[in-house]
Amino acid sequence: MANFDYDIAIIGGGAAGLTVASGSAQLGAKTLVIEKEKALGGDCLHHGCVPSKTLIKTAHVYHLMKSGPEFGLPTMELPPVDFRDISKRIQSVIDVIQKHDSVERFCQLGAKVEFGDPVFKDEHSITLGNKTVSARTWVIATGSSAAIPPIEGLDKTPYLTNRDIFNLDKLPSSMIIMGGGPIGIEMAQAFSRLGTKVTVIEGAPQILGQEDQDMAEIVQQTLEAEGVIFHINTSIVSTRDLGSEREVTVETAAGKTVRFRGETVLVALGRSPNVSGMGLENIDVEFDRRGIKVNQYLKTRHKHIYAAGDVNGGLQFTHVAGYEGGVVLSNAIFHLPKKTNYINVPWCTYTHPELSSIGMNEKRAKAASMEYSTWIEEFSASDRGLAEGENTGKIKLLLDSREKPLGIQILGAHAGELLGEWVAIMNAKVGLSKIAGAIHPYPTLGEINKKVVGSIYSQKLFSNTVRKGLKFFFNLKGRACTCEPETDCTKN
């Protein structure tokens, strides 16, 4: 057997790469991680999930401070925010998590970390600076970057992406957000709440295109009520730098040309895989604009070269990158063949209210020509929702013909947390009667999970058939009160 420097080498020290590295090192494989930035952690820690959720929380607190009268409190006149302080808070959160993703920690686990720009020399070795490093197995986990489409004038117009948005010197007075996907929409609400005049431009007929339209519409209406301006079904034609302002020219669905001006432009038009500069063409690893092509075992054309995380163009979430890291470990270190399975992948868009989802929604079920029934429960009927002032949203449960859950979407406060129960139900294949019979604490928002299942059973339980059966067997006497058509019984 050839004598390689490492058993396994991973390019990219983000969610996918570090999952593989920590597992392989602890399992006794001689492991190398190569990272091109100055620190480990990847986009999620430095320019993605962590800074965005920290910013969202800050914006939520500021919004709450201004919402006193809704809670019976006095009105407060608040000074404008200083974005440098917000950036400091974001950085302080990153710094704490960074310790978990430090070179020292990975060294303790047994993995070596090198920083630099690796280039494949052949299928087993790379050059890194002036040295060559070889490994038996390679994992490409280089993530993705903001996609910058060829929009006329964009190359000459200053714009922001997720790499710059979290450490601005000042809060922009106005912002045009290109793209109504999760990143664009989360940032739209956060910046609007902090005091920026936000306009979102989306080419599709709805924002959050992966989600059911009725759910996405409530998110849009909520943001509109807070002051965000939306232009959906609107294509971006060109951009122009006007010095102190940027101009974005769009074409509406009706074919009208409209121009918008804003202090800043945020490009949130999807993601591009980080595939360039590694010499992938030298080793014939196949990729296109979506990402590196892999099979169900996450193997590229070469059975010892894997691609995991955003770079393979699949679902672009940190938890999916981590899951794929686990699949690579199973295949490359344990040699236990494991295929990927994305049926029960949950996700959440962290607007307020949040929109979380697992399994099929109506859009995907219709596209797959599946038969389903929907069961809905509104947060306006949640006692805790009312007490909290969190009564916007609903849960939507999709069942197949045998009443097995196909998928759940929750739109409401803490929807990401509320989905946890469904993650367990869907993965453990728990029967719905168990949820209907389980005692949930009162008053909690989580009761909505039991209520939506309860509505399926109560329809059957309180039916004429059951009533007739009980009357027959136990001689029940029936109704004690009957409402006349003209009487409003609810007033009694």
Ligand X SMILES: Cc1cc2nc3c(=O)[nH]c(=O)nc-3n(C[C@H](O)[C@H](O)[C@H](O)COP(=O)(O)OP(=O)(O)OC[C@H]3O[C@@H](n4cnc5c(N)ncnc54)[C@H](O)[C@@H]3O)c2cc1C
Which positions touch ligand X (CB under 6 A)? 11-17, 34-37, 42-44, 47-49, 52, 117-118, 141-143, 162, 183, 274, 277-278, 309-311, 316-319, 321, 350
Smallest distance from the beta carbon of 267 to ligand X, in angstroms? 11
Q: Within 10 A of 141 (CB to CB), how many other CB atoms are there? A: 30
Q: Which residue is nearest to ligand X (CB)?
A: 14
Using the minimum distance from each CB to ligand X, give the nearer residue, 233 or 330: 330
Smallest distance from the beta carbon of 349 to ligand X, in angstroms? 8
Using the minimum distance from each CB to ligand X, give the nearer residue, 28 or 277: 277
Using the minimum distance from each CB to ligand X, give the nearer residue, 262 or 291: 291
Cα separation, 213 vs 200, in Å, equals 17
Torsion of CA 403, 404, 409, 415, to 10 degrees: 110
Handedness of CA 145, 149, 155, 156 (dihedral sign): negative
Using the minimum distance from each CB to ligand X, give the nearer residue, 309 or 353: 309
Smallest distance from the beta carbon of 490 to ligand X, in angstroms? 43
Cα separation, 139 vs 333, in Å, equals 12
Largest pairwise CA distance in the chain: 92
Q: Is the peptide bond before 353 cis (omega within 30 degrees of 0)?
A: yes
3-state secondary structure (DSSP) of residue 301: coil
Using the minimum distance from each CB to ligand X, give the nearer residue, 47 or 394: 47
Smallest distance from the beta carbon of 185 to ligand X, in angstroms? 11
Strands 125-128 and 131-140 turn out to be: antiparallel
Smallest distance from the beta carbon of 416 to ligand X, in angstroms? 9
Smallest distance from the beta carbon of 326 to ligand X, in angstroms? 13
Smallest distance from the beta carbon of 162 to ligand X, in angstroms? 4
Residue 15: phi and psi, rounded to 5, are: -55, -50
Using the minimum distance from each CB to ligand X, give the nearer residue, 276 or 458: 276
Could you please report the per-residue DSSP string of 373-394? EEEEEEGGG-HHHHHHT----E
3-state secondary structure (DSSP) of residue 35: strand
Using the minimum distance from each CB to ligand X, give the nearer residue, 34 or 329: 34
3-state secondary structure (DSSP) of residue 119: strand
Rounded to 10°, the helix 447-461/415-428 angle is: 60
Using the minimum distance from each CB to ligand X, give the nearer residue, 15 or 399: 15
Cα separation, 196 vs 186, in Å, equals 14
Using the minimum distance from each CB to ligand X, give the nearer residue, 118 or 203: 118
Q: Within 10 A of 367 (CB to CB), how many other CB atoms are there? A: 9
In sequence order, what are the residues at sequence separation of 6 or more whose Cβ sits closer than 8 angstroms to the Cβ of residue 401?
371
Using the minimum distance from each CB to ligand X, give the nearer residue, 49 or 365: 49
Smallest distance from the beta carbon of 137 to ligand X, in angstroms? 17
Cα separation, 436 vs 451, in Å, equals 8
**Residue with token string 């008053």:** 443
CB 273 within 8 A of CB 311: yes
Smallest distance from the beta carbon of 14 to ligand X, in angstroms? 2
Smallest distance from the beta carbon of 463 to ligand X, in angstroms? 43
